[in-house]
Amino acid sequence: MIPNQSIFNLFVFIVSITLVGKCVGQVNLSNRPPHTDYAKMVRYLVHKSNWTSMGTISTVSSIQGFPMVNIKSIADSAVNGKSTGHIYFLLTNLDFTGKDINQSNKCTAMFTEDQDLSCLNSGLDTQEPKCARAILSGRVERLNEDSDEHAKADEYFTDRHPASVNWRKQHKFYFCKLQIELIVLIDFYGGARYVSVDDYYNANYDAVDSDIESRFEAVKIPSVIRPKFNN
Protein backbone atom coordinates (compact mmCIF):
# COMPACT_ATOMS: atom_id res chain seq x y z
CA MET A 1 0.00 0.00 0.00
CA ILE A 2 1.32 3.48 -0.89
CA PRO A 3 1.51 5.83 2.11
CA ASN A 4 -0.91 8.75 2.11
CA GLN A 5 1.93 11.27 1.78
CA SER A 6 3.22 9.47 -1.32
CA ILE A 7 -0.26 9.50 -2.85
CA PHE A 8 -0.54 13.22 -2.16
CA ASN A 9 2.90 13.91 -3.67
CA LEU A 10 1.99 11.91 -6.78
CA PHE A 11 -1.27 13.83 -7.11
CA VAL A 12 0.50 17.19 -6.84
CA PHE A 13 3.06 16.11 -9.44
CA ILE A 14 0.41 15.03 -11.96
CA VAL A 15 -1.61 18.21 -11.46
CA SER A 16 1.51 20.35 -11.83
CA ILE A 17 2.54 18.67 -15.08
CA THR A 18 -1.00 19.05 -16.44
CA LEU A 19 -1.13 22.75 -15.63
CA VAL A 20 2.28 23.42 -17.14
CA GLY A 21 1.27 21.65 -20.33
CA LYS A 22 -1.91 23.68 -20.57
CA CYS A 23 -0.04 26.92 -19.96
CA VAL A 24 2.45 26.19 -22.73
CA GLY A 25 -0.36 25.17 -25.05
CA GLN A 26 -2.34 28.34 -24.40
CA VAL A 27 0.68 30.53 -25.05
CA ASN A 28 1.38 28.94 -28.41
CA LEU A 29 -2.20 28.60 -29.64
CA SER A 30 -3.15 32.15 -28.73
CA ASN A 31 -0.19 33.80 -30.45
CA ARG A 32 1.05 31.49 -33.22
CA PRO A 33 0.50 32.96 -36.70
CA PRO A 34 -0.44 30.79 -39.71
CA HIS A 35 2.60 29.10 -41.24
CA THR A 36 2.04 31.11 -44.44
CA ASP A 37 2.47 34.42 -42.62
CA TYR A 38 6.23 34.29 -42.73
CA ALA A 39 7.18 37.67 -41.28
CA LYS A 40 4.80 37.28 -38.35
CA MET A 41 6.08 33.77 -37.74
CA VAL A 42 9.63 35.03 -37.35
CA ARG A 43 8.43 37.78 -35.02
CA TYR A 44 6.55 35.15 -33.02
CA LEU A 45 9.66 33.00 -32.62
CA VAL A 46 11.78 35.95 -31.52
CA HIS A 47 9.14 37.33 -29.17
CA LYS A 48 8.49 34.06 -27.34
CA SER A 49 12.19 33.35 -26.90
CA ASN A 50 14.28 34.10 -23.85
CA TRP A 51 17.52 32.86 -25.41
CA THR A 52 19.10 32.10 -28.74
CA SER A 53 21.92 29.94 -30.08
CA MET A 54 24.36 32.50 -31.48
CA GLY A 55 27.07 31.55 -33.94
CA THR A 56 30.24 33.58 -34.55
CA ILE A 57 33.59 33.14 -36.30
CA SER A 58 35.90 31.71 -33.67
CA THR A 59 39.03 33.46 -32.44
CA VAL A 60 40.15 30.47 -30.38
CA SER A 61 43.64 29.68 -31.69
CA SER A 62 43.11 25.95 -32.14
CA ILE A 63 39.91 26.42 -34.20
CA GLN A 64 40.40 29.94 -35.56
CA GLY A 65 38.01 30.58 -38.43
CA PHE A 66 35.69 27.72 -37.43
CA PRO A 67 32.10 28.40 -36.35
CA MET A 68 31.59 28.96 -32.61
CA VAL A 69 28.14 28.63 -31.05
CA ASN A 70 27.08 30.03 -27.70
CA ILE A 71 23.85 30.53 -25.76
CA LYS A 72 22.79 34.15 -25.34
CA SER A 73 19.87 35.35 -23.24
CA ILE A 74 17.77 37.81 -25.24
CA ALA A 75 14.75 40.06 -24.88
CA ASP A 76 12.68 41.82 -27.51
CA SER A 77 10.26 43.23 -24.92
CA ALA A 78 9.17 42.87 -21.33
CA VAL A 79 7.38 39.63 -20.43
CA ASN A 80 3.92 41.06 -21.06
CA GLY A 81 5.06 43.71 -23.51
CA LYS A 82 4.30 43.97 -27.20
CA SER A 83 6.70 42.54 -29.73
CA THR A 84 9.36 44.99 -30.93
CA GLY A 85 11.32 42.60 -33.16
CA HIS A 86 14.57 44.04 -31.81
CA ILE A 87 16.91 41.39 -30.42
CA TYR A 88 18.64 42.80 -27.35
CA PHE A 89 21.33 40.85 -25.54
CA LEU A 90 24.43 41.22 -23.38
CA LEU A 91 28.02 40.71 -24.39
CA THR A 92 31.26 40.73 -22.44
CA ASN A 93 34.78 40.67 -23.80
CA LEU A 94 35.55 37.88 -21.34
CA ASP A 95 33.29 35.52 -23.29
CA PHE A 96 33.80 33.65 -26.58
CA THR A 97 31.09 35.62 -28.38
CA GLY A 98 32.33 39.03 -27.30
CA LYS A 99 35.89 38.22 -28.36
CA ASP A 100 34.71 36.86 -31.70
CA ILE A 101 32.56 39.89 -32.47
CA ASN A 102 35.41 42.26 -31.68
CA GLN A 103 37.53 40.41 -34.23
CA SER A 104 34.87 39.85 -36.90
CA ASN A 105 31.49 41.53 -36.44
CA LYS A 106 29.37 38.80 -38.02
CA CYS A 107 26.91 36.53 -36.24
CA THR A 108 23.90 34.30 -36.75
CA ALA A 109 21.13 33.70 -34.21
CA MET A 110 18.83 30.66 -34.37
CA PHE A 111 15.37 30.56 -32.79
CA THR A 112 13.33 27.37 -32.40
CA GLU A 113 9.67 26.99 -31.60
CA ASP A 114 10.63 24.10 -29.34
CA GLN A 115 12.39 26.39 -26.86
CA ASP A 116 9.43 25.92 -24.52
CA LEU A 117 8.93 22.28 -25.63
CA SER A 118 5.73 23.16 -27.49
CA CYS A 119 6.73 20.96 -30.44
CA LEU A 120 7.62 18.04 -28.21
CA ASN A 121 4.33 18.43 -26.34
CA SER A 122 2.53 18.36 -29.71
CA GLY A 123 4.29 15.18 -30.83
CA LEU A 124 6.69 16.95 -33.21
CA ASP A 125 10.42 16.38 -33.33
CA THR A 126 12.45 19.58 -33.04
CA GLN A 127 13.93 19.10 -36.53
CA GLU A 128 10.60 18.60 -38.30
CA PRO A 129 9.73 21.47 -40.66
CA LYS A 130 6.41 22.08 -38.89
CA CYS A 131 8.36 22.87 -35.72
CA ALA A 132 9.22 26.40 -36.81
CA ARG A 133 12.74 27.80 -36.68
CA ALA A 134 14.22 31.07 -37.83
CA ILE A 135 17.81 31.97 -38.62
CA LEU A 136 18.77 35.64 -38.45
CA SER A 137 22.20 36.84 -39.54
CA GLY A 138 23.72 40.26 -39.14
CA ARG A 139 26.10 42.42 -37.19
CA VAL A 140 26.20 43.50 -33.57
CA GLU A 141 25.56 47.09 -32.52
CA ARG A 142 26.68 48.13 -29.05
CA LEU A 143 24.07 50.42 -27.48
CA ASN A 144 24.99 53.85 -26.19
CA GLU A 145 24.63 53.71 -22.41
CA ASP A 146 23.06 57.18 -22.37
CA SER A 147 20.44 56.40 -25.00
CA ASP A 148 16.73 55.76 -24.50
CA GLU A 149 17.13 52.47 -26.36
CA HIS A 150 19.72 51.31 -23.83
CA ALA A 151 17.27 52.09 -21.02
CA LYS A 152 14.56 50.11 -22.81
CA ALA A 153 16.87 47.16 -23.41
CA ASP A 154 17.82 47.19 -19.73
CA GLU A 155 14.13 47.28 -18.73
CA TYR A 156 13.17 44.43 -21.05
CA PHE A 157 16.15 42.27 -20.15
CA THR A 158 15.73 42.75 -16.41
CA ASP A 159 12.06 41.80 -16.63
CA ARG A 160 12.76 38.63 -18.59
CA HIS A 161 16.00 37.70 -16.82
CA PRO A 162 15.77 38.92 -13.21
CA ALA A 163 18.68 36.71 -12.15
CA SER A 164 20.98 38.67 -14.47
CA VAL A 165 20.96 41.59 -12.05
CA ASN A 166 23.17 39.52 -9.75
CA TRP A 167 25.91 38.81 -12.29
CA ARG A 168 25.93 41.08 -15.30
CA LYS A 169 27.75 44.04 -13.68
CA GLN A 170 30.50 41.81 -12.31
CA HIS A 171 31.84 40.80 -15.71
CA LYS A 172 31.62 44.08 -17.63
CA PHE A 173 28.60 43.13 -19.71
CA TYR A 174 27.23 45.67 -22.17
CA PHE A 175 23.95 45.80 -24.07
CA CYS A 176 23.86 45.08 -27.79
CA LYS A 177 21.32 44.75 -30.57
CA LEU A 178 21.42 42.53 -33.63
CA GLN A 179 21.41 44.58 -36.82
CA ILE A 180 19.61 42.04 -38.99
CA GLU A 181 20.73 41.55 -42.59
CA LEU A 182 19.26 38.15 -43.53
CA ILE A 183 16.22 36.22 -42.25
CA VAL A 184 15.51 32.58 -43.12
CA LEU A 185 12.43 30.70 -41.91
CA ILE A 186 11.41 27.05 -41.95
CA ASP A 187 7.90 26.51 -40.59
CA PHE A 188 6.35 23.99 -43.00
CA TYR A 189 7.24 21.54 -45.76
CA GLY A 190 8.62 22.91 -49.01
CA GLY A 191 11.95 24.42 -48.05
CA ALA A 192 13.21 27.64 -46.51
CA ARG A 193 11.49 30.99 -46.85
CA TYR A 194 13.36 34.29 -46.98
CA VAL A 195 11.84 37.25 -45.17
CA SER A 196 12.97 40.80 -45.87
CA VAL A 197 14.09 42.88 -42.91
CA ASP A 198 11.47 45.53 -43.76
CA ASP A 199 8.67 42.94 -43.81
CA TYR A 200 9.91 41.57 -40.51
CA TYR A 201 9.78 44.91 -38.71
CA ASN A 202 6.54 45.98 -40.40
CA ALA A 203 4.70 42.78 -39.45
CA ASN A 204 1.92 43.66 -37.01
CA TYR A 205 2.56 40.63 -34.86
CA ASP A 206 0.44 41.75 -31.91
CA ALA A 207 -2.67 41.91 -34.12
CA VAL A 208 -2.72 38.10 -33.78
CA ASP A 209 -3.91 38.56 -30.22
CA SER A 210 -6.60 41.19 -30.83
CA ASP A 211 -9.57 38.88 -31.43
CA ILE A 212 -8.65 36.60 -28.55
CA GLU A 213 -8.19 39.52 -26.16
CA SER A 214 -11.58 40.96 -27.08
CA ARG A 215 -13.25 37.66 -26.18
CA PHE A 216 -11.18 36.89 -23.11
CA GLU A 217 -10.43 40.29 -21.60
CA ALA A 218 -10.32 38.88 -18.08
CA VAL A 219 -7.68 36.29 -18.98
CA LYS A 220 -4.14 37.59 -19.36
CA ILE A 221 -1.77 34.97 -20.77
CA PRO A 222 1.87 36.03 -21.15
CA SER A 223 3.21 35.59 -24.65
CA VAL A 224 6.57 34.42 -23.33
CA ILE A 225 7.66 31.94 -20.73
CA ARG A 226 9.33 33.73 -17.84
CA PRO A 227 12.00 31.72 -16.03
CA LYS A 228 11.72 31.30 -12.27
CA PHE A 229 14.69 31.49 -9.97
CA ASN A 230 15.16 30.49 -6.37
CA ASN A 231 16.14 33.29 -4.03
Q: What percent of the chain has pLDDT over 90?
A: 70
Of how many residues is the chain composed?
A: 231
Domains of the chain: 32-214 (2.30.110.10)
Angle (CA) 103 104 105, round 5°: 120
Q: Helix (H, G, I), strand (E, B), or coil: what is residue 2?
A: coil
pLDDT for res 207: 65
Instruction: Please provide residue 204's backbone torsions phi and psi, each rounded to the nearest 5 degrees.
Output: -85, 75
For residue 117, the one-letter residue type is L
Q: What is the pLDDT of residues 58-104, one digit of tens each?
A: 999 999 999 999 999 999 999 989 999 999 999 999 999 999 999 99
Query: Residue 68: beta bridge partners?
Result: 56
| Averaged pLDDT for residues 205-222 | 45
Residue 148, exposed/middle/buried by CB under 10 A (0-12, 13-18, 19+)? exposed
What confidence tier does 3 reach under pLDDT thresholds 50, 70, 90? Answer: low
CA distance 121 to 52: 20
Instruction: Give this prediction's pTM.
Output: 0.78
pLDDT for res 212: 36
- pLDDT for residue 221 is more than 70: no
Q: What is the pLDDT of residues 36-59, one digit of tens each?
A: 999 999 999 999 999 999 999 999
* Element of type H or E holding 51: strand 51-57
Query: Residue 174: beta bridge partners?
Result: 91
Q: What is the pLDDT of residues 117-145, one digit of tens each?
A: 999 999 999 999 999 999 999 999 999 99
pLDDT for res 190: 95
Q: What is the pLDDT of residues 137-193, one digit of tens each?
A: 999 999 999 999 999 999 999 999 999 998 887 889 999 999 999 999 999 999 999
Is there a contact between 140 and 91 (Cβ–Cβ < 8 Å)? Answer: yes
What confidence tier does 208 reach under pLDDT thresholds 50, 70, 90? Answer: low
For residue 138, the one-letter residue type is G
Interacting residues of 192 by C-beta distance below 8 A, sequence separation 6+: 184, 185, 186
pLDDT for res 46: 96
